Amino acid sequence: MFNTGKFVGKTVLITGASRGIGKEIALKLANDGANIVVAAKTATAHPKLPGTIYTAAEEIEKAGGKALPCIVDVRDEASVKASVDEAVKKFGGIDILVNNASAISLTDTESTEMKRYDLMHSINTRGTYLMTKTCLPYLKSGKNPHVLNISPPLLMEPRWFANHVAYTMAKYGMSMCVLGQHEEFKPHGIAVNALWPLTAIWTAAMEMLSDKGGEAGSRKPAIMADAAYAVLSKNSRDFTGNFLIDEDILKAEGVTDFERYACVPGAPLMPDFFIPSGTYDHKFSTGATFGKKKVAHEAGVIEEEIKQTFESAKRLLNGDIVKKTGFVYQFILKDPVTKSERFITLDLKNGDGEIIDNQSCHKPDVKFTLAPEHFAPLFSGKLRPTTALMTKKLKISGDMPGAMKLESLLRKFTEGKL
């Protein structure tokens, strides 16, 4: 999407703007000549995540904007107030707020420490609310004022809560701010909208979380920046209270080429969390194995595939891989017709590893529940665990980062890199 110059001279405060989606939005608006307040905690480089508020500010200036790097902890009221005061002092006001800062822990109830729960709720929900509240007096006098939360549609589906209820609650809190504040702020002409990606977005944080796996199914942060640009260009009095998906908003703007956003053009896309059922399923089917099957698998064929997969999986077993992985996985093959269950355990945590058939593991770190016909495609790489989860072909419980690590491991295995 082309820049139009609409944001020249406008002041935009973006939380979490030192890297990833936040920085990409900042650079997009900077190309128009916007004033960008880089509000983030990272003042010194992280050992695994590149970028600081100062390196981001430098890039923004080079792109044509003006930058104000601010060390901000969105959990701290004094820190937030100081950054807003500094922005107003330097640029004269605030026209746009992008609440992008977020914390994530994809863990179930038993595995979620309360300090991690508190962190997610303090940053995601409370941080969004606090920053919006603090900016509000200046947004009231802003030019075409907008608040944009990088948060998902409010889908009350159990699958989005069951595996990581603490994270979902915290992320939905950001969206609930949209639901309430868009109506509250209408008399002031302030738009409040939510924007969420259809697919996984490949950022440094995503790379770290997935153990460097999944880039091929992801899109670049540029798609979110272009979508944000389109949303923030709308008349704030008319366009408010929307829960938007990046691809949808860009299609409405006339964009037709989405391959340019792909990290690996032509690769099957991996859906993000919190995507509505049915509407987008066709985008994530990548073959007859887990799409609409032309011919149903017979039980004997499925059993042979499982046996072959079982033998192939044994090649994963060695002390080095066990040391790098550190998880016990249990696959529960549940027949949709007979309702019978078969347990396969892949131990990549102890000794040199082990794979066991027809025996339930006492306490696995991660459980995968799926139909028998999907077990072989899961190991062969034809069916990505994340895609299967989003399209309801797989249920995951337990340690979600552990599940993502297995996805990375299987990808390397099928590519012959192990």
Q: CB of 386 within 8 A of CB of 215?
A: no
Residue 83 has a CB neighbour count (10 Å cut-off) of: 26
What is residue 209's predicted lDDT score, i.e. its pLDDT?
A: 62
R_g over Cα of the chain: 23
Question: The tokens of 303 are what?
Answer: 């059993």
What are the DSSP E strand ranges found in 252-398?
Answer: 327-334, 341-348, 354-357, 366-370, 394-398
What is the rounded distance in angstroms from the CA atom of residue 206 to the CA atom of residue 313? 26
Short-list 272, 260, 258, CA closest to 386? 272
pTM of the prediction? 0.81
What structural domains does the chain harbor?
11-287 (3.40.50.720), 293-415 (3.30.1050.10)
Q: CB of 271 within 8 A of CB of 284?
A: yes
For the chain, the distance separating the N- and C-terminal CA atoms, rounded to the nearest angstrom, is 40
What is the rounded distance in angstroms from the CA atom of residue 287 to the CA atom of residue 172? 33
Residues that are catalytic: 167
What is residue 208's predicted lDDT score, i.e. its pLDDT?
A: 65
Q: CB of 328 within 8 A of CB of 368?
A: no
pLDDT digit string (tens) for the chain, length 418 residues: 689 899 999 999 999 999 999 999 999 999 999 999 999 999 888 777 788 999 999 999 999 999 999 999 999 999 999 999 999 999 999 999 999 999 998 888 988 999 999 999 999 999 999 999 999 999 999 999 999 999 999 999 998 998 899 999 999 999 999 999 999 999 999 999 999 999 999 987 777 665 555 687 899 999 999 999 999 999 999 999 999 999 999 999 999 999 999 999 988 888 899 998 778 877 875 443 333 343 344 567 888 888 888 888 787 788 888 988 999 999 999 988 788 899 999 999 999 998 888 776 668 998 999 999 888 888 887 777 777 776 678 888 888 778 888 887 877 777 666 5
What is the rounded distance in angstroms from the CA atom of residue 360 to the CA atom of residue 296? 28
What is residue 15's predicted lDDT score, i.e. its pLDDT?
A: 98
DSSP per position, 131-185: HHHHHHHHHTTSSS-EEEEE-------THHHHT-HHHHHHHHHHHHHHHHHHHHT
Which 3 state secondary structure label does DSSP give 282? helix
Residues facing residue 66 across a β-bridge: 35
Q: Which residues contact 336 (CB under 8 A, 6 or more apart)?
A: 371
